Structure 1
């Protein structure tokens, strides 16, 4: 007997920088030709996205989210709650999660990946009980996010991140941070601290050259206070995740990272959205979410789940 069709819920954020209706129609036809039953629902807020998934938790085999990183990140908790796999249509500005998964920015490529339905388990980051896929920021990264209005992102696209960085650099202030990284203490002065679960953030910047979204680790870097021209000379290293080559950057990784800042109560943004304030407890949740990825996804560990298990066991 023929197998039952895979039932997919497609949640679209109409505010995202998206492809044309024709692109979506062609992609949906591809999914249906592959034997999927796809039901579409529009969502204009994270609350609507979560409710659309939760209210019909047992009716679908897969959730496809079309939107940006913030839209996708806001659904992480309900996906875990419902034990539903995730597929992505990269309709946002940066699409950093799609990059980390090896999907990229091409909409038709993303539809082809979903039609093939190859899956892997990935990690989630958590800060003060809030989930994130890519990166959480304190300091300069938060100021960059403040400069990124919907209007700016629509007008400038991925270059909006470069524009926002330039504006934020002129206003950055230093802060003190006390870290506890898997039980090891460290005290720093910083202007920017980032903790990454995925590989990419901020429109294609690399968290760490060795990072993957299924390695069972969080990667941290902190920029020491420095002059504007010194920051600008670091730009190529920051873009490529080679912070380890610069003495003005502190790098480490771990499974649990606790931090306290002076001043207290600094904003923490994750995947481009405000989620909490310091003090903050970060941890990685290894391989807790199933996602649809390319067969040979370049953004994942070369040896799949076995590589992540080795990181967790310390081998």
Structure 2
């Protein structure tokens, strides 16, 4: 088996020791391993797109942003492996991927290739979420130097800094042709958010649909209630939060909002307007057999 490891040395402050352990573990399992170290944002996507052959598996070593870059350069027939070494590692938690290099190597070499449906934001794929309004402001305001040194604290500081802006902008959404107005939204392809928190219990990576959480009230008290509900997995039960399943999502530029940002998988992703759809085809992701069985069980009736 030929394994291409794409490593982001900036993710999580760098995890060179873990990378070396992973490579040793893969080699011990008779994998032919090549390591590519990214040099700048977007480099992983560019490198993969320029390669004639990507091997039998491409492994993203870094955070959720690194995985997103690898996803967008991945050839259609090549499975995606993930060894999370970033700040939040939300996708790894969603898929119950192991943290130890030896166990991660087992999944990469011997795991199940599970079909997962990405979303598509303005022509670029994502696996976890797209944020509009407050969620995107937080990502845009996150200090990368603080993030490298202190991890999730950088997001917490950005969250507090952006609360005062909430309610200042209202957005128009078309969800499968139906109009909604909201002051912020998260378009979710997965359940988890910010680490171990459950954002929505309706989302499913293996289902070709997206779950849209619309925040329909402008007052900051509404936002604070949502933030307090997040650790308990209860955000969808907060009054004023509307949760809608959709496959085609259009978000217009609001009045005076020409530079309104977007975020995808925890990184800045351009500005409005946004066209968000389910991708044309699934990608294969290497997961433990137990994870594949759990997702299969969710889709069973009753």
1:23 aligns with 2:55: no
Match of 2:66 in 1: 71
> TM-score scaled by structure 1?
0.85
SS at match of 1:302: helix
CA contact (8 A) 2:137 2:162 kept: yes
Match of 1:3 in 2: none
Please, which of 73, 77, 80 is the counterpart of residue 83 of structure 1?
A: 77
Match of 1:231 in 2: 223
Q: Which deviates more, 90-99 or 200-209? A: 200-209
CA contact (8 A) 2:167 2:218 kept: no
**CA–CA separation in structure 2 for the residues paired with 1:267 and 1:49:** 23
Instruction: Report the number of matched residues.
Output: 300
Deviation at 1:117, TM superposition (A): 2.9
Match of 1:142 in 2: 136
**CA–CA separation in structure 2 for the residues paired with 1:107 and 1:145:** 29
Match of 2:245 in 1: 253
Structure 1's 142 and 285: CA in aligned 2 closer, same or farther, altered over 3 A?
same
Please, which of 126, 140, 145 is the counterpart of residue 120 of structure 2?
A: 126
Moved over 6 A (4+): none
Structure 1's 151 and 59: CA in aligned 2 closer, same or farther, altered over 3 A?
closer
SS at match of 1:160: helix
Match of 1:285 in 2: 279
| 1:208-254 deviation digits (Å, cap 9, x = unpaired) | 11322112210111223344444323324234443331112121111
Deviation at 1:168, TM superposition (A): 1.5
| 1:253-301 deviation digits (Å, cap 9, x = unpaired) | 1111122242343221111222233222211127510111111117962
1:152 aligns with 2:137: no
> TM-score scaled by structure 2?
0.88
Match of 1:54 in 2: 49
**CA–CA separation in structure 1 for the residues paired with 2:203 and 2:101:** 25
Deviation at 1:7, TM superposition (A): 0.1
SS at match of 2:152: helix
Structure 1's 18 and 295: CA in aligned 2 closer, same or farther, altered over 3 A?
farther
SS at match of 2:43: helix
Gaps of 5+ in 2: none
Q: Which deviates more, 21-30 or 295-304? A: 295-304
Match of 1:187 in 2: 180
How large is the RMSD of aligned CA atoms in angstroms? 2.7
